[in-house]
Structure 1
Amino acid sequence: MSAINHEERVRHEGLREKIMTAEQAATFISHDMNVGMSGFTGAGYPKAIPAALAERMKAAQARGEEFKIGLLTGASTAAECDGVLAEANGIKMRTPYQSEAALRKQINAGETHYFDMHLSHVAQQSTFGFYGDMHVAVVEVAGILPDGRLIPSTSIGTNNAWLNNADKIILEVNSRQSLLLEGMHDIFDDIGVPPYRKPIPITTPGERVGSPYLTCDLDKVVAVVLTDSPDRNSKFADPDECSNKIASYIIDFFHEEVKKGRMPANLLPIQSGVGNVANAVLAGLQASPFENLTGYTEVLQDGMLDLIMSGKMTQASATAMSLSPDALDRFNANIEELRKRIILRPQEITNHPEVSRRLGVLAINAMIECDLYGNVNSTHVMGTNMMNGLGGSGDFARNAFTSMFVSPSVAKGGAISCITPMVSHVDHTEHDVMVIVTEQGLADLRGLSPRQRAQKIIDNCAHPDYRPMLQDYYDRAAQTAGMQTPHILSEALSWHQRYVETGDMRVKKGLALAV
């Protein structure tokens, strides 16, 4: 890195003296330490330290020594972080969310302990020592000011908590992140601790209540590492017919809610999970008559950026930006205007129940499967294998004005029905699920008893190849007297067992599907 960039990015004289290589900085991390790293959905994670640390782990293991760490982040990172550490067999414990194939394999093999949790809980539980001491924090920033304040990167996540809680701090200063990010962030963490919690004074998505900068005890900073590397920036697939159908049902639902006077003409703040279906919904809003939209969400992705740039959305609050390469180019080309309309906050604030309930967010999140009564599984395939994690879906679903869960009605070419008699794992109970949407239709479950919910989900959301099977199961279950929630316990999970044994939930294979 050039001397000009060096002086521009690290303007604190004392911290300049602590600039070193990633290899040197990684020596501050030892076996059995808990390490808090920045990063949220492939944005703002450290790029150099994990690779250097992985090499130290491999060298130690070659000597017959054990070298594993407990790894905590805001959410998922990328191959350069979770990936290299997993490949080095160096993660003994992981929380709260991950998405790398190598790490997922180790978790499901029982080689890495993983505990899944609501993202809004991470900062507080770490602060109170639920996971042990935080030995080292590794946090990416865009720059360091002369007084030591830190210009955050493309995600906040739990960075403020890591900086506060860690015994030692390593800063990665990434020159690939624009210095014009300065001013976009809103770091509010002065909320106190129970029983003396303070209110979070956010009453609109665009309201700023904190500081644009991260701060830390500069005496705890043991190393500054200079990097010049991009975020993961995965490209989203173009919305397919299935995603577009799901989006159209949601847009129609919004129209009806406005017509009935339940929402204002510009809707309520939108929270959208990450993925192609979520982007399709946001693209659908782009073509809708709704104006002056707002967003209060975890992750700002392509679809929401496009809404902001077109003027459809006036303000958006998130904890991270997860943009495709093309979208990132558009963001950087318009950053001076966009930083006035986009706010990045700590995830303890973006995901906090108090704010979601006050603002009345419209929560739209993905699911793996849903059962006849509206219980949702977001995390486990066939009830046993972890996919990625709960993320913030539970934070929003329980506290939303309207909580929606979306999925194609079938998976694996039709071999799996995403509507089942009973879910194989429960992340969101029926009490937190108001609307289910597939490409087959939308089931509004509000105010319905379990029996009413079941028929609505079968009629509106199940794939035609599975609808008769679901109806048969429900009809036979409902014949048993005295059951509020009819189930045939000996059959409730038989679909999953059939898939495990035969590779298909259907009784007969080879049925043609028209998704």
Structure 2
Amino acid sequence: MSDHSRILCPVLQQRIMSAEQAAELIPAGANVGMSGFTGAGYPKAVPGALAQRIRQLNSQPNAKPFRINVWTGASTAPELDGVLAEVDGIEMRLPFQSDPICRNRINDGTMDYVDYHLSEVSQYAWSGFLGKMDIALIEVAGIREDGSLIPSSSIGNNKTWIEQADKIILEVNSRQNAKLEGMHDVYYGTALPPNRKPIMLTDPADRIGEQYLACPPEKVIAVVETAAPDRNSPFKPSDEVSKKIAGHILEFFNKEIELGRLPKELLPIQSGVGNIPNAVLEGLDAGPYKNLTAFTEVIQDGMLKMLKSGTLKVASATAFSLSPDGIQEFDDNIDFYRDKIILRQQDISNHPELARRLGVIAMNGLIECDLYGNVNSTHIMGTRMMNGIGGSGDFARNGYLSIFVSPSTAKDGAISAIVPMVSHVDHTEHDVKIIVTEQGLADLRGLSPRQRAHEIINNCAHPDFRPALIDYYERALHSGRGMHTPHLLEEALSWHQRYEQSGQM
């Protein structure tokens, strides 16, 4: 029996129950706002109990399908997205996911999916665009005497979900390090138009809010105790392709510093999750840089190393995304990191006003890029969702530099990342400044569409596909259909069609 040492509010101690009992309180058709961002800080127990309940109810004769709508901060984990998708328990999902079972249901049409810019989700909820939130299911590291909440390893949309929900279920996870307390910065100064005021944050190290989440105890209908780890994936050592991409980016940074267009401390870094971003972080850590800052979504292993070495002096994010070794390093040295890491809600970590003011250097991945710099970062062959746009658009449009990275080929060379026309557009040519593959870097700033085409083909396309891209471009250029952005409409998506028919672009 727990001594409830993480639950200090007497009123809420009276609402402790099992995950199964709490799951009984979630009705079919409910809009449920759940915590979680990139596999950190998501509820670990109630979703699984709810999935078991859904399976039992749906197996009964003449049962009406039991499904809920799931809103989160970003992707979560198999214990949430996976178990609910497996029992066909999700009617609609937003705003970002990475679960393979969810992905299959989205792409076979049995789950609706709304792919939003992450900075906008809270505003949509406040404005009523998404409908009424029935229940918030939030993981926390503890509950204080007054009912305020100690956030766990992510904040995401938790502030908004708590404010918007009619009822709240809390999971108190004792596996979360108790010393997370004090690392969070929850800002309560946002408002809807026309009542907005400037957000007074001018440096990634600024603290502008509260350490705790305000939570009216009367809204809490259940408290569930857990002791389970976050989802974590082993850190993959950088491969040669990733190292080459990182090398091109670091060379570019050095030139920009020489030209006086970047300070020697660079500007605040925003980095997507994955092998290539971590290779860039490794490169920065091995270089001459000191006192860098990060204003980003997630703290990765590479950022812990940079903080430890002094390359990075502060990192602002909304969540952790660490490997098992990274989690161990963080827990073992949390007293060192707690003054150098700030976790904020995602409508602040991804806020366009702040990205523009701070001059963020945005580095994100792409699926494909076309000759003119339009980027597809979400859809395979134009129709099949991969994960979602996430926060890349928040930073790409508003950052000082928007860098998109990818290997030049995929599927063992069958697919080119550089194509005549993207099959789906997430980031238009107007927002894309730099494209990087292992082949090289294309600086698109100040270039016309035709100039961008030469830069992208010559620097970023794989040699196996470069002749065909040149041939397409030159024939489009002489087609007489228009010289500004030359295309052959009858061929523009033929590469994708050829892949689907033959398995080779």
TM bracket (short chain)? over 0.9
Measured after TM superposition, the shift of residue 128 of structure 1 is 1.6
Cα distance in 2, alignment partners of residues 309 and 72 from structure 1: 35
Q: Which position in structure 2 is the counterpart of 1:72? A: 71
Tell me the residue number matched to 1:188: 187
1:387 matched to 2:375? The reply is no
Asked if residue 449 in structure 1 is aligned to residue 448 in structure 2, the reply is yes
1:512 matched residue in structure 2: none
Secondary structure of the structure 1 residue equivalent to 2:43: coil
CA distance in 2, matches of 1:300, 1:431: 28
Residue 218 of structure 1: CA displacement?
A: 1.1
User: In structure 1, what residue type is equivalent to 2:498?
Assistant: R
What is the rounded CA distance, in whole Å, between the counterparts of 1:21 and 1:190 in structure 2?
Answer: 35
Identity of aligned residues (%): 62
Where does residue 335 of structure 1 map in the other structure?
Answer: 334
2:485 aligns to what? Answer: 485
Q: TM-score, normalised by structure 1?
A: 0.97
Cα distance, 1:242 vs. partner? Answer: 0.1
Unaligned 5+ runs, structure 2: none
List per-residue Cα deviations over 1:128-170 (Å, max 9, x = no partner): 2211110000000000111111110000000000000000000
The equivalent residue for 2:235 is 236
1:46 paired with 2:54, answer no
Which sits farther off after the overlay, 323-332 or 189-198? Answer: 189-198
Alignment of 1:97-246 (within 5 A): 97-246=96-245
Structure 2 CA distance for aligned equivalents of residues 466 and 205 of structure 1: 42
User: How many Å apart are 1:2 and its aligned residue?
Assistant: 3.1
Letter of the 1:19 counterpart: I
Task: Report the alpha carbon displacement of residue 234 of structure 1 after superposing the two structures with TM.
Answer: 1.1
Structure 2 residue aligned with 1:509: none
- 1:421-476 deviation per Cα after TM superposition (whole angstroms, max 9, x unaligned): 00000000000000000000000000000000000000000000000000000011
* CA distance in 1 between partners of 2:280 and 2:264 (Å): 17
The aligned amino acid for 1:105 is: N
2:125 counterpart SS class: helix
1:316-335 alignment runs, 5 A limit: 316-335=315-334
Amino acid corresponding to residue 118 of structure 1 in structure 2: H
Which of structure 1's runs of 4+ aligned residues deviate more than 4 A?
Answer: none
The answer on whether the counterparts of 2:136 and 2:162 sit within 8 Å (CA) in structure 1 is yes
Specify the SS of the correspondent of 1:327: helix
Distance in 2 (CA, whole Å) between partners of 1:304 and 1:80 is 27
Give a deviation string over 1:1-33, Cα, whole Å, max 9, x none.
532xx2x20011110000000000111101111
Q: Which amino acid aligns with 2:485?
A: T
- Tell me which amino acid in the other structure corresponds to 2:36: G
The residue number in structure 2 matching 1:510 is none
1:355 match: secondary structure: helix
Kindly provide the amino acid, as one letter, of the partner of residue 29 in structure 1.
Answer: I
Distance in 2, matches of 1:331 and 1:288, equals: 23
Equivalent residue number for residue 36 of structure 1: 33
Task: Name the structure 1 match of 2:422.
Answer: 423
Matched, 1:23 2:20: yes
CA displacement 1:170-199 (0-9 Å, x = unmatched): 000000001100000000032111111111
1:298 corresponding residue in structure 2: 297
Aligned partner letter, 1:50: P
- 2-structure distance, mates of 1:411, 1:24: 47
| More displaced 10-residue stretch of structure 1: 191-200 or 71-80 | 191-200
Question: Could you tell me how far 1:483 is from its partner in structure 2?
Answer: 2.2
Residue 466 of structure 2 corresponds to residue 470 of structure 1: no
Q: Distance in 1 between matches of 2:64 and 2:227?
A: 32
Task: For 2:122 and 2:238, locate their aligned partners in 1 and report how far apart those are by CA, in whole Å.
Answer: 35
**2:25 partner letter:** F
Matching residue of 2:373: 374
In the alignment, structure 1 residue 62 sits paired with structure 2 residue 59: yes
Aligned length: 502
1:111 Cα deviation after fit:
0.3
| Alpha-carbon displacement from aligned partner over 1:384-417 (angstroms, at most 9, x marks no partner) | 0000000000000000100000000000000000
Shift, 1:336, TM fit = 1.4
Letter in 1 for 2:245: I
Q: How far did residue 65 of structure 1 move?
A: 2.6
What is the letter of the counterpart of residue 41 of structure 2? G
- In 2, the alpha carbon distance for the partners of 1:212 and 1:340 equals 13
Shift of 1:305: 1.3
Structure 2 letter corresponding to 1:37:
M
**AA aligned opposite 1:355:** L
Encode CA deviations 1:85-117: one digit per residue, 9 max, x unaligned: 000110000000001111100000000000111
Task: Give distance in 1, aligned partners of 2:184 and 2:327.
Answer: 17
Cα deviation, 1:219-251, whole Å, max 9, x if unaligned, reads: 000000000000001112110000000000000
Name the amino acid aligned to 2:489: L
In structure 2, C-alpha distance between the alignment counterparts of 1:273 and 1:331, rounded to whole Å? 20
- For the residue of structure 1 that corresponds to 2:412, the secondary structure is helix
Once the two structures are overlaid, the 10-residue window that deviates more, 126-135 or 80-89, is: 126-135
CA distance in 1, matches of 2:155, 2:190: 17
Q: Distance in 1 between matches of 2:494 and 2:119?
A: 35
Amino acid at match of 1:181: L
Query: Which letter maps to 1:491?
Result: E
Q: Which amino acid aligns with 2:29?
A: D
- Matched with 2:275 is 276
Q: TM-score, normalised by structure 2?
A: 0.99
CA positional deviation for 1:337:
1.9
**Structure 1 residue 311: deviation in Å?**
1.2
CA distance in 2 between counterparts of 1:112 and 1:212 reads 36
- Trace 1:391-410 onto structure 2 (pairs within 5 A): 391-410=390-409
Work out the CA distance in 2 between the residues paired with 1:159 and 1:107. 25
Cα deviation, residue 252, structure 1: 0.5
After superposition, the C-alpha distances for 1:198-231 in whole angstroms (9 at most, x for unaligned) are: 1111100010000010111110000000000000
Shift of 1:480: 2.9
Match of 1:503 in 2: 503
Aligned to 1:93: 92
The answer on whether the counterparts of 2:147 and 2:216 sit within 8 Å (CA) in structure 1 is no
Q: Amino acid of the residue matched to residue 423 of structure 2?
A: S
Question: For the residues of structure 1 that align with 2:174 and 2:156, how far apart are their CA atoms?
Answer: 20
Report the more deviating stretch, 327-336 or 404-413: 327-336
2:7 is the counterpart of 1:2: no
The alignment partner of 1:137 has SS state of strand
| Structure 1 position 411 matched with structure 2 position 410 | yes
